[in-house]
Amino acid sequence: MQPENQKSNQERRIPGCVGSVLVFGVPVRFHFTFWLVVVALIVFGAQGKQSAAALTLYISAIFGSVLLHELGHALVARRYSIRTLEIVMLPIGGLARLERSPRAHEEIWVALAGPVVNLVLAGLLFAWLFLTGAPLLPAAWDEITDESLLPMLATANLILAGFNLLPAFPMDGGRILRSLLSRFRPEHEATRTAARIGMGMAAMMGLYGLLALNPFVIFIAFFIYVGAVQESLASQQQVLIRGEKVRAAMITDFRTLDHGATIREAANLLLSTPQQDFPVMTSAQVTGLLTRTALLRAMATEGPDGYVAGAMDRGFGRVSPSTDLADALPLLSGNNSCALVFDDDRLVGLLTTENLSEFLVLREIGNARRRSQAEDL
């Protein structure tokens, strides 16, 4: 049974976020790059003829549309009993992080929900403009005025829906494509196909951005390419660990620290062993985990005479050796480089990103040798 004060993998956050709010029970966090884009939009927009109030309202409404898009994903995911851990606002949109990946028949509806929200918003805005006799399109696209605000917002929602429906990762359209392809081929092959389309689309966008000298298009192309590569690597990783348990990749020869040990003693152990993360023990009970990052931070702030008890993480990740390795991967996301492996209440190993990487390399080498031997036959 997991102690209440320990953080599960669902509670661990994407690093680099500054500021957060709670919307319908879902934490909404803002990546620092999101604020950079907001500042850039305000600076460039201030050079036009629009008022500060119209500009601020337009920018807020755009990001509000993005947030509603992500809440659409969260709402449909909840229908399939998938909790949304957080929504992270990024420069090119948002990211709804779910506690588990939707299955193929679920993913198509979860992915569709976001663009549908934007289409509904656009439809409502255009309907209002039509009923009030206002122009459906702005007279000038480079000036945000009281008259052009709603037409530009309606059009922006159409563009947002269309962009996200592009059939390539990491957009919603890529997830829809993967869901459809998964009905006819293995999921990892479907993911690889959608990811390759995403990388190809990003390359074409990047080339266009270079030729047109448009840094914003290059910026978007970069994010799309990175997202597609990450999806492809994650899919390949899932194939390599399929059917494997945590015990196959965990470290069983490890050192621990006493609860009363000093930072100096921990630093000496860090230097004298290849280990970087140390369980902290009180008698036979694990009370925390001292990571390399926490150790260095404590050395700088508390000094070598400080105690590991004040620097250790009491919310360490916890997993069983019989857990599927794929299910344990989220424990090593973000800044978390180590999870402790318990057999009942007994500490039996460590699962670290370094050891997992070595395990994957060895699995890939083994698979390559088997393929080569099969071809020789």
CATH of the domain at 354: 3.10.580.10
Residue 9 has pLDDT above 50, yes or no: no
Residue 374 located in a structural domain: no
Residue 93 has pLDDT above 90, yes or no: no
Asked, as a colleague might, if the bond just before 170 is cis with ω within 30 of 0, I would say yes
Residue 56 located in a structural domain: yes
Domain boundary among 219, 242, 265: 242
Residue 214 has pLDDT above 80, yes or no: yes
Instruction: Measure the CA–CA gap between 69 and 171, rounded to whole angstroms.
Output: 12
42 and 137 housed in the same domain: yes
Residue 258 located in a structural domain: yes
Which of 42-46, 202-206, 279-283, 311-315 is least confident? Answer: 42-46
Residue 4 has pLDDT above 70, yes or no: no
Q: Between 172 and 373, where is the model more confident?
A: 172
User: What is the span of the domain harbouring residue 265?
Assistant: 246-361
224 and 270 housed in the same domain: no
Q: Between 197 and 329, where is the model more confident?
A: 197
Tallying the residues shown for the chain, one arrives at 377
229 and 250 housed in the same domain: no
130 and 43 housed in the same domain: yes
Instruction: Measure the CA–CA gap between 145 and 51, rounded to whole angstroms.
Output: 7
26 and 43 housed in the same domain: yes
Q: Between 355 and 372, where is the model more confident?
A: 355
What residues pair up with 343 in beta bridges, in sequence order? 346
128 and 191 housed in the same domain: no
Question: Between β-strands 93-98 and 84-90, what pairing exists: parallel, antiparallel or unpaired?
Answer: antiparallel
Q: List helix spans (H) across 46-80.
A: 52-79
In this predicted model, what pLDDT tens digit does every residue of 307-342 receive, in sequence order? 998 889 888 888 899 888 877 877 776 667 888 999
- Work out the pLDDT band at 112, boundaries 50, 70, 90: very high
- How much is the pLDDT for 375? 66
136 and 231 housed in the same domain: no
Work out the percent of the chain whose per-residue pLDDT is above 90.
Answer: 20
Residue 187 has pLDDT above 90, yes or no: no
Which of the given ranges, 110-124, 140-154, 243-257, 319-333, has the highest pLDDT on average?
Answer: 110-124
250 and 238 housed in the same domain: no
Minimal CA–CA distance to 69: which of 18, 115, 27, 36? Answer: 115
Instruction: Measure the CA–CA gap between 313 and 162, rounded to whole angstroms.
Output: 44
266 and 231 housed in the same domain: no
235 and 260 housed in the same domain: no
Residue 272 located in a structural domain: yes
18 and 150 housed in the same domain: yes
- How much is the pLDDT for 10? 40
Instruction: Measure the CA–CA gap between 230 and 192, rounded to whole angstroms.
Output: 11
- How much is the pLDDT for 102? 80
- How much is the pLDDT for 125? 92
Count of domains forming the chain: 3
Residue 175 located in a structural domain: no
- Work out the pLDDT band at 104, boundaries 50, 70, 90: confident
Residue 171 located in a structural domain: no
Residue 174 located in a structural domain: no
Minimal CA–CA distance to 118: which of 153, 151, 169, 150? Answer: 153
Residue 8 has pLDDT above 70, yes or no: no
Residue 138 located in a structural domain: yes
86 and 19 housed in the same domain: yes
The predicted model scores a pTM of 0.66
Helices (H) and strands (E) in the chain, counts: 11, 10
